[in-house]
Amino acid sequence: MTVDRRARWAWTVAFVVGCGGDSSQGDDDTTSDGEPSTSDAPTTTSASDDPDSSGGADSSSSGEVETSDEGSVSDTSDDPPDPPDPPLPCAEDWDCKEDRDGDDKPLSCDNAPDHTNPDQGDMDFDSFGDIVDLCPTVQSLNNTLDSDKDGVGNACDTCPRPSALYQVVPMPARYEVRNTPAQGDADEDGVGDACDNCPLVPNCLGYGDGPGLTPWVPGLPLDPEDPECNADANLDGIGDACAGDAGVGFADADDFDGDGIDNGDDACPRIRAADGAHADPDGDGFGTECDVCPFVADPSQADDDGDFIGDACEEHLGCVDRDNPRPLAFYDVAVGGYCCTTYYTGQAFEDPDGMPLGAEDFPASEPGLLELPPGCDAALADAGVASATALGPADVGGLAALWSHVCLLPAWDQDLDAIPDACDLCEFAFDPSNAPYVDDNGMEWPNYGAVCNGEYSCDAQR
């Protein structure tokens, strides 16, 4: 028996950006008797088995941001877009393999077939469910463009380019531009604080907060490669518009982000501290907003796959070289950029044999799955609420306003077995060992899991 999924997913509909599981894993490609299809004969993993080879971040061969093919069709006003024509009704009878996420929506009707979302939320009406939409507030014909692999689509990302392309001059590592998913933009010029060479002075294509300027919001056109955006004639990393301004520099005594903390004392020198200081619960000198491992001390900040989850805190070795960025969501209470909510709230789970699972049965995992992120207990108490609330456009006055409430959730692990979905052989069946399937002839299938194939396949369980 697979995990009971239908009673447990009230929390997941609040997800806004997620990392889909590998479609080559699990039990989608099984025969009627639950065996993997012969077209997927056992083999060692090759480049074609890696989900990154056919999806993930879509950047050009040079690493530049792809903008011309983004396919944005959004109305950038704060009014909700018009809903599309009603879809054709789903078939009333379908094979169990067409609903691998267990949300009672077959593949032909499911706007997020690898993520359980029975409500099918889609606030921008672009047919990509909010739970997987890389730009949940901007209609798009393409949901794969994420050049810096931070989990925020290029059309919404205030720093969409690979971080190396922002580096025009060598500087100490702590001052370099990094691919943090933080979306703060103090001057509202469409270039995020984390990559802006003038974070407090608008200097991009007439966008900004000031007389004669238009505050940028996701969906407005902006070409980060335009020479009039972040102009820097002498290529010193400081924009022409703010060169010479007090505190704008990369010396320890400067304050490049203008948050009142000298660079040398600032745990995130390029990201403004919201409350006078950056939270640093692991004490490694990097604030949560710019730390690839915010809850595990990691001075090296190594991140081999570039998804802003550091090697030291990847939940499973199989994910070290697979992009699985933490998804974004919109909540009313967050600390250090992390949403004050948990994935597990006591909902029903079963192991593959139908035995109930409780909190004590789940392996330790990143904060946000079983336990609140550090600081959230105090933040919730200060807010006078027992738990944070997921927000929609109606709660904050429109789609654009949601971005002032954006926060991070832990990487997808829908069965809570401490194997992130991106490297879980059975994303919807609890198996902390992540064991591969071995068929009746003793043949091992390395890309298929033991607890969602053979006797555990949906066909065999009917």
Whether the predicted pLDDT of 58 surpasses 90 = no
Tell me the pTM. Answer: 0.83
Q: Is 455 exposed, middle or buried (0-12, 13-18, 19+ CB in 10 A)?
A: exposed
Provide mean pLDDT across the span 33-54: 44
Distance of alpha carbon 331 from alpha carbon 372, whole angstroms: 14
Span 14-31, pLDDT tens digits: 433 333 333 334 444 555
pLDDT recorded at residue 168? 87
Residue 289's CB is within 10 A of a number of other CB atoms, namely: 25
pLDDT recorded at residue 5? 39
Residue 65's CB is within 10 A of a number of other CB atoms, namely: 22
Q: How far apart are the first and last CA of the chain?
A: 9
Who's near 355: CB < 8 A, 6+ residues apart? none
Residue among 428, 445, 427 at smallest CA distance from 436: 445
Q: Whose structure tokens read 């894993």? A: 25
> pLDDT-based confidence at 78, cuts 50/70/90?
low
Distance of alpha carbon 450 from alpha carbon 194, whole angstroms: 43
Span 267-295, pLDDT tens digits: 999 999 987 789 999 999 999 999 999 99
Whether the predicted pLDDT of 34 surpasses 60 = no
Q: Whose structure tokens read 């203008």? A: 258
Span of 6-10, 142-146, 288-292, 393-397 with lowest mean pLDDT: 6-10
| Long-range contact set of residues 309-316: C-beta below 8 Å, sequence gap at least 24 | 309/411, 313/366, 314/420, 315/365, 315/366, 315/411, 315/413, 315/418, 315/419, 315/420, 316/418, 316/419, 316/420, 316/423, 316/424, 316/434
> pLDDT-based confidence at 41, cuts 50/70/90?
very low
The answer to whether the CB of 435 falls within 8 A of the CB of 136 is no
Distance of alpha carbon 342 from alpha carbon 136, whole angstroms: 21
pLDDT recorded at residue 81? 72
Distance of alpha carbon 319 from alpha carbon 315, whole angstroms: 7
Q: Assign residue 403 a region: left if phi > 0, alpha if psi is -120 to 50, beta otherwise? A: alpha
pLDDT recorded at residue 73? 52
Residue among 82, 62, 58, 61 at smallest CA distance from 71: 58
Kind plus residue range of the DSSP H or E element containing 356: strand 356-357
Residues linked to residue 339 through DSSP beta bridges, in sequence order: 334
Span 324-333, pLDDT tens digits: 999 999 999 9
CA 423 to chain centre: 15
The answer to whether the CB of 330 falls within 8 A of the CB of 322 is no
| Amino acid at the residue 177 | V
The answer to whether the CB of 198 falls within 8 A of the CB of 248 is yes
Task: Assign 264 to helix, strand or coil.
Answer: helix
> pLDDT-based confidence at 137, cuts 50/70/90?
very high
Span 205-248, pLDDT tens digits: 999 999 999 999 999 999 999 999 999 999 999 999 999 999 99
The answer to whether the CB of 279 falls within 8 A of the CB of 295 is no
